Amino acid sequence: MSASRAIGVIGGTGYVSGELLRLIAGHPHLELGCIASASSPGMDLTEAFPNLAGCYSGVRLASMSELDARWRDGALAGIFCAAPHGTAAGLVDGLLSGEDARRGRIVDISADFRFRDPVVFEGIYGQPHGAPNMTGQFTCAVPEHLAEMATPHAAQPGCFATAMLLGVVPMIRSGLIENDFFISGVTGSTGSGRSPSPTTHHPERHSNLFAYKPLSHRHAPEVETIAEAVAGQRPRIRFVPHSGPFARGIHVTIQGRLRPDAEPTALRTALQHAYRDHRFVEVADAPPRIKDVVGSNRARLHLAFDERGYALLVVIDNLIKGAAGGAMQWMNRLLGLPEHAGLTAPGPAWI
């Protein structure tokens, strides 16, 4: 077994940071080298994440300057950036600027490097990009959809976007469907982050279900842009997200029409073929449930169809496959490690 490589994490006390730390703790080739927080430097790590007390006793959150120093002196092989959208770009720009901005690899989990064109980011997020000169250094895709990378760094798509792309990309590549997709998705409350809001507060979500930003959610253009880049055709996405009464997990239903000359069974075969060599994605014979995958890096898909069209069901854990786990797949690849390293633990199912 190779010696462990030290990894940095930016984003201190967020849910995704907590999942990254949990995955690093069980990784056979990586170890935590530094975790930085702009808001809580000096805090004991287990104060933010009591569940990690057995793994990181005595570790404290560092400042960004401390992490930057370790990065520049070569102590960190890679960095996960789980800072908020709009903040991550400036932090990454600082790490990659200067003559000593080195050999390490960065995987960004914010939205800041999901779009190669900073103007597209600005149009969707309504703010100037914090590092427009750095966007060409990142590739954004679901790891299963891109065999080779031409950039030194990677960006993980958003959690809803990951679930949608797992279905949309192989169907576009099949050439069997019309490229108009009607998508409805339900996400758990952890998808909105750790800070409570009127739509994430437990009394509002408990025993409740409601849509938000119908046909105007920013993940729709994200999916269109990424799908075009990896599949060669730009789809039309009509997306309605919903808030569900559970903490973690995403269930997405993708509907559309087959091309007139397409055989429905051929679409299922194409989907199975697309993921036959990818251990984290399963095409199941029955409709999946989120408890099939929650707590794991796995995704389950199921295709139903009639003579007119199809419905593809996708479930993932939003914090793992849709964020920390997908990012870990990228880091493993960037560092020349097995893509599945540290990600093979099964989900607990009954959480």
DSSP string for residues in 134-193? GGGGEEES-GGG-S--SSSEEEPPPHHHHHHHHHHHHHHHHT-B-SEEEEEEEE-GGGG-
Edge-to-edge strands, sheet with 210-211? 210-211, 236-243, 180-187, 250-257, 309-316, 299-305, 281-283
Question: Residue 347 pLDDT > 70, yes or no?
Answer: yes
Nearest to 165 by CA among 177, 151, 181: 181
For the entire predicted model, the pTM comes to: 0.95
Give domain limits for the chain. 5-140, 159-318
CA angle 155, 323, 44 (to 5 degrees): 105
Q: Which two tokens stand for residue 44?
A: 């004991």
Q: Does domain 5-140 have CATH number 3.40.50.300?
A: no
**In this predicted model, what pLDDT tens digit does every residue of 236-254 receive, in sequence order?**
999 999 999 999 999 999 9
The pair phi, psi for residue 82, each rounded to 5°, is -110, 30
Region of 63 (left: φ > 0; alpha: ψ -120 to 50; beta: rest) is: beta
Q: What is the pLDDT of residue 201?
A: 75
Residue 200: pLDDT band by 50, 70, 90 thresholds?
A: confident
Identify the three-state secondary structure at position 87: coil
Q: What is the pLDDT of residue 199?
A: 72
CATH number belonging to domain 159-318: 3.30.360.10
Q: What is the pLDDT of residue 35?
A: 96
Q: How many whole angstroms separate alpha carbon 129 and alpha carbon 149?
A: 23
The CB density around residue 289, as the number of other CB atoms within 10 Å, is 14
Q: What is the pLDDT of residue 1?
A: 43
Nearest to 12 by CA among 97, 88, 122: 88
The pair phi, psi for residue 160, each rounded to 5°, is -60, -40
- pLDDT (mean) for 207-219: 93
Question: Residue 205 pLDDT > 90, yes or no?
Answer: no
Residue 232: half-sphere exposure toward Cβ, Cα within 13 Å: 6
Task: Mean pLDDT check: name the lowest of 93-97, 137-141, 233-237.
Answer: 93-97
Q: What is the pLDDT of residue 102?
A: 66
CB of 223 closer than 8 Å to CB of 168: yes
Q: What is the pLDDT of residue 101?
A: 63
More confident residue, 130 or 307: 130
- pLDDT (mean) for 109-114: 96
Cα dist from 147 to 121, 142, 334, whole Å: 25, 10, 12
Identify the three-state secondary structure at position 314: strand
Does the active-site annotation cover 159?
yes
Q: How many whole angstroms separate alpha carbon 246 and alpha carbon 187?
A: 8
CB of 142 closer than 8 Å to CB of 167: no
Identify the three-state secondary structure at position 327: helix
Residue 148: pLDDT band by 50, 70, 90 thresholds?
A: very high
CA angle 230, 103, 132 (to 5 degrees): 55
Q: Which two tokens stand for residue 180?
A: 């108009």
Selecting among 34, 81, 140, 159, the annotated active-site residue is 159
Cα dist from 15 to 46, 49, 89, 157, 323, whole Å: 13, 9, 19, 16, 10
